[in-house]
Structure 1
Amino acid sequence: MSVGAWEPENQASNDQSSTEIDRALLAKIIDIVGEDSGETAPDLKSIDQEIQLAHWLAGVPAAQWLTEAAHWNENQVWALIRFFALAEMQLPDWRGGAESPVIPLAKSLRQRKAPLQREQLLWIRQHSDNRYLPYGPL
């Protein structure tokens, strides 16, 4: 008698990497935050309920965010970065920590040779208490 390792037939059902990112939802987020420089920080507590309840976005794997970022221009990626930084502070259940979408989104900008500027880095520090932003754990 041999003993083998049991592997479930459908691992994808428990795999977060199979989570589909809804681009229409991201477009709503970008509209709310705006594509400008981001000097002002919007109050996210009064935004659409659908977005407030989309805290599952904070748990999407980094590789998937890197792929998704390719569909957006630099200003739109910056708007998403601002939203996720603010969401961690203002919305319940939006804790990203070391897995925050801000980290792969910022990496996507570096890969485009358009890294975050000093003013943007200062904005993130001013509007977030997540010590891992924007570059992740060391």
Structure 2
Amino acid sequence: MAIGSWDPNAKQTEQLFDIERANLDAYIELSRTKRLNELPTLLSSNQQQNQAACMRLSKDQWFSTAESLSDDEIEHLMRFFTIAEQLPGWDAGAHSPVIWLGKVLKQRGTGVNRELVVWIKSNSKNQFLPHGAL
């Protein structure tokens, strides 16, 4: 169990949080280069704290963000966010971006492939991943 810090303004920060494409590109690259297990050391504590709000963005925000992403990029982000949930303050439960991004793939007709489902389930303790509450 990780111990994080409580921020009384966290809800307000989440509502104002905007996803930056540069951050998404960095997350995608970490997945492509298979460096996800190094997240706690690759992301500074400041980055971890400032970016944690992206884990609780709405379905609509993720659907909008995903419009400019390829299926491959979405799959890499799903891997990144699966591992990122282990960082302090990044847990998202049934509101994980992994779920919303998977729904984007389903809407596109691609869906989440079996290999990715198995990988997500073997790398996460979040019972809702990858499909959400059933």
Q: Same fold, TM exceeding 0.5?
A: yes
TM-score (norm 1): 0.79
Counterpart secondary structure, 2:111:
coil
- Distance in 2 between the 1:42 and 1:95 partners? 16
Counterpart secondary structure, 1:42:
helix
Aligned to 1:61: 58
Report the aligned-residue RMSD.
Answer: 2.2
For residue 52 of structure 1, report the CA deviation from its aligned partner.
2.2
Q: In the alignment, residue 72 of structure 2 is paired with which amino acid?
A: N
Aligned to 1:10: none
Deviations 1:45-77 (A, max 9, x none): 121325423111101111110111111101110
Contact 2:30 2:36 in 1 (8 A): no
Contact 1:16 1:61 in 2 (8 A): no
Aligned to 1:87: 84
Q: How does 1:97-108 map to 2 (within 5 A)?
A: 97-108=93-104
Give 1 or 2 for the bigger CA radius of gyration: 1
For residue 16 of structure 1, report the CA deviation from its aligned partner.
4.6
Structure 2 unaligned spans of 5+: 1-11
Give every structure 1 segment of 4 or more consecutive aligned residues whose post-TM-superposition deviation is greater than 2 Å: 14-19, 40-43, 50-53
Counterpart secondary structure, 2:85:
helix
Contact 2:17 2:53 in 1 (8 A): no
- Distance in 2 between the 1:71 and 1:17 partners? 22
For residue 41 of structure 1, report the CA deviation from its aligned partner.
4.8
Residues 119 and 21 (structure 1 numbering): CA distance in 2 closer, same or farther, change over 3 Å?
same
Aligned to 2:28: 30
Q: In the alignment, residue 19 of structure 2 is paired with which amino acid?
A: I
Determine if the alignment matches structure 1 residue 76 to structure 2 residue 73. yes
Aligned length: 122
For residue 44 of structure 1, report the CA deviation from its aligned partner.
1.1
- Distance in 2 between the 1:102 and 1:128 partners? 11
- Distance in 1 between the 2:91 and 2:36 partners? 18
For residue 124 of structure 1, report the CA deviation from its aligned partner.
0.5
- Distance in 1 between the 2:74 and 2:24 partners? 10
Counterpart secondary structure, 2:112:
coil
Structure with the largest fraction of helix: 2
Q: Which of 87, 112, 116 is equivalent to 2:112? A: 116
TM-score (norm 2): 0.81
- Distance in 1 between the 2:70 and 2:48 partners? 24
